[in-house]
Amino acid sequence: MIIKVLGTGCKKCQKTEENAREAVKALGIDATIEKVEDVQGIMSYGVMATPALVIDEQVKVKGKVPTVEEIKAML
């Protein structure tokens, strides 16, 4: 499973990455978490509002920080 956090590095983007890592750890699943900070890379997903969360190439959240529980439900 590949999880991507899309964002330019703001506090909300950092919190999204932190929550994703915590959710993966809590569930004990094997996942790679990547950060996409390049604007072109972010726009390639059709995302105009960050932070955004992409799981296995599907945009699941955009424009808000998902909670650990929300991310666990998506996984």
Catalytic residue among 3, 5, 6, 13: 13
Catalytic residue among 10, 26, 43, 49: 10
ω into 66 cis (within 30 of 0): no
CA angle 33, 15, 67 (to 5 degrees): 90
Tell me, yes or no, if 13 is annotated catalytic.
yes
Instruction: Name the one residue in this structure whose structure tokens are 């950092």.
Output: 14
* Catalytic residue numbers, as ranges: 10, 13
